[in-house]
Structure 1
């Protein structure tokens, strides 16, 4: 799975909005194959936007777990 850069959030949001408009147009013109393809794209794009939003809310950076201590080894 590809990860989307957080800087691309506005672009991804625009793509999702555009997909919705294109689905509506395809439905009005009875382009059933086009509708199916666009819905598949929308199904994959929407969770990526959710993932970006979730990542923005979580603390950034690495977590220091410390050094492991092995029993019986000299310190």
Structure 2
């Protein structure tokens, strides 16, 4: 069993609560978020490993996300 533990991933998850543009502006504009295809690639890689390799947990986050919290640093433009 492999547990995927992503940081901020740019998905439609918060559209209901914040609205399409609200979610994009608050959560993703000026930040570098993980894309869904990144998570899919990680999962595929874990599944393709030989049977005796156990990938128990994959914890991934954008390099701008602070470990141990939900703080994100904005991109400098």
User: Which range, TM-score by smaller chain?
Assistant: 0.3 to 0.5
Q: TM-score when scaled to structure 1?
A: 0.33
Higher normalized helix content (fraction of residues): 1
Q: TM-score when scaled to structure 2?
A: 0.33
Larger gyration radius, structure 1 or structure 2:
1
